[in-house]
Structure 1
Amino acid sequence: MAGGISIHAVDVASGQPAQGLRVEIWQVGPARALIADGWLGAVGTLDHPVTTGIGIEAGEYEVLFHLGEFFADSEGAGFLTVVPFRFRIVNVDEHFHLPIKFTRWGFALFRGA
């Protein structure tokens, strides 16, 4: 896949994809603009045109993972609220796959393949 930003989230404590996790994708440089906002589907991915490169320009971006909302209905909601992931795109033809693995107490973010 060329271009775009894709998200894949897994709640590793339950071993399940993070269906219902709210994610925002912001372009923060050169100007701040919300380019995607939605909830992850059954396989823990975001279904949005941004995944195919629509609306992506060179610049700095921030993904916000709303883990506090995700755990709000469960017992002991944990202490994480919103987890940010900030990165830069120089070549808009590259695809940026951003997996997150998390529990209510911690997380791991990285650029995947």
Structure 2
Amino acid sequence: MSGGRITTHVLDTSRGKPAIGINVELWLIESSNSAESRTLLRTAATNEDGRLDAPLLDSDEMLAAVYEIVFCAGDYFRDEKRRHILEAEPVFDRVPIRFYAADAEAHYHIPLLVAPGGYSTYRGS
């Protein structure tokens, strides 16, 4: 696959396994003067490997712009299949990762490592 694209995957570090079924949203963030607008571009859910079945954005739609991926971590940890790992409500309900894609021809892989009490991210490859 050539051209720009945005991809992600999610690992549940509390279990040491892929996070299956996390809902993910991709937003385009635009600013003019002091106002900001958000446009929802895509929603998807992670598969058995903690990945999405398709890129959040591919080369046909990719722009040099500010994007935000929102991971619905609270819903994931509140699911009855995972309630046993919670000592209390998850600290982070929604995890927003805002980033600037300067090159519309580049691959931006933004993974999330998540647990009920914390998360981290990085630009992957």
Distance 1:104 1:112 in 2: 22
**Does the aligned pair in 2 maintain the 1:50–1:56 contact within 8 Å?**
no
Q: Secondary structure at the match of 2:91?
A: coil
Give the alignment partner of residue 94 of structure 1, picking from 72, 91, 106.
Answer: 106
Equivalent residue, structure 2, for 1:104 = 116
The answer to whether the 8 A contact 2:7-2:55 is kept is no
Q: State the partner residue of 2:9.
A: 8
Unaligned runs of 5+ in 2: 32-36
Q: TM-score with structure 1 length normalisation?
A: 0.90
Stretches of structure 1 that go unaligned for 5 or more consecutive residues are: none
Could you tell me which amino acid in structure 1 is paired with residue 49 of structure 2? Answer: V
Quick one: distance in 2 between partners of 1:89 and 1:29? 13
C-alpha distance in 1 between matches for 2:75 and 2:59: 27
Percent of residue pairs identical: 31
TM-score (norm 2): 0.82
* Alignment RMSD (CA, Å): 1.6
Establish whether residue 44 from structure 1 lines up as the match of residue 44 from structure 2: no
Partner residue, 1:34: 40
Corresponding residue for residue 20 of structure 2: 19
Equivalent positions of 1:53-68 (< 5 A) are 53-68=59-74
Could you tell me whether the CA contact under 8 Å between 2:6 and 2:55 is conserved in 1? Answer: no
Higher Cα Rg, which structure: 2
CA shift for structure 1 position 38: 1.2
